[in-house]
Amino acid sequence: MQSNLLPPAVRGFFMPDKIVMSAEDIRRTLARIAHEIIEHNKTVDDLVLVGMHTRGVPLAKRLAARIENFEEATIPVGALDISLYRDDLTLLNRQPLIQRTDIPVSIDGKSIVLVDDVLYTGRSIRAAMDALIDLGRPQSIQLAVLIDRGHREMPIRADYVGKNMPSSRDEDIQVQLKETDGIDQVTITNMANNRTQK
């Protein structure tokens, strides 16, 4: 009997997820990023962390908790929805899911650290900056991401990167967090159907 030598993707199956970051990897990475944020900013007094929905929000909260442990200072944390600022909004066939933007302090004159899970094309970050500018005039906007997968379409670079993960456009990188998915891990899948521009 002749065996089927075609790879799974050709036979119509998806390659299984490969775990590229474990829960411990994520924990150590966030601790490192928190230290880098402290080192980069002369003071944390004017620091505000703003997480982008969905997984940027719990990441921002975790980073703030680590900074607070290191510096014994309370760091405000906000949540930002960019749905109405996306440049592909008119191309979407469905109503965008609007989530709550909640930033507990004025961002005027503050050093904002924007937090997201995956940096991809840069379009979501551009939309997030537009949304922030509509809320006030920060002194600076910095960017922290857990994963940078490349393929930039905008001149945007992260100030703090957990892991650089070069990938093809046929690969799907998924960040899973306990707060949203019940588990902490980062996986990469070949031939993914769903590609969300970041």
Q: For residue 88, what pLDDT band results from cuts at 50, 70 and 90?
A: low
Domain ranges of the chain: 21-86+100-169
DSSP SS3 for 133: helix
Q: How confident is the model at residue 86 (pLDDT cuts 50, 70, 90)?
A: confident
Please state whether the peptide bond connecting residue 54 to the residue before it is cis, i.e. omega within 30 degrees of 0.
yes
163: nearest Cα among 50, 59, 33? 33
User: What DSSP designation does 15 have?
Assistant: P
pLDDT of 14 above 90: no
Residue 53 has pLDDT above 50, yes or no: yes
HSE (side-chain half, CA atoms, 13 Å) at 84: 8
Domain boundaries 21-86+100-169, corresponding CATH code? 3.40.50.2020
Q: What pTM value is reported for the model? A: 0.85
**What per-residue confidence (pLDDT) applies to 12?**
46
Taking only Cα atoms into account, the Rg of the chain, rounded to an integer number of angstroms, comes to: 18
Using the predicted structure, report yes or no on whether residue 51 has a pLDDT greater than 50: yes
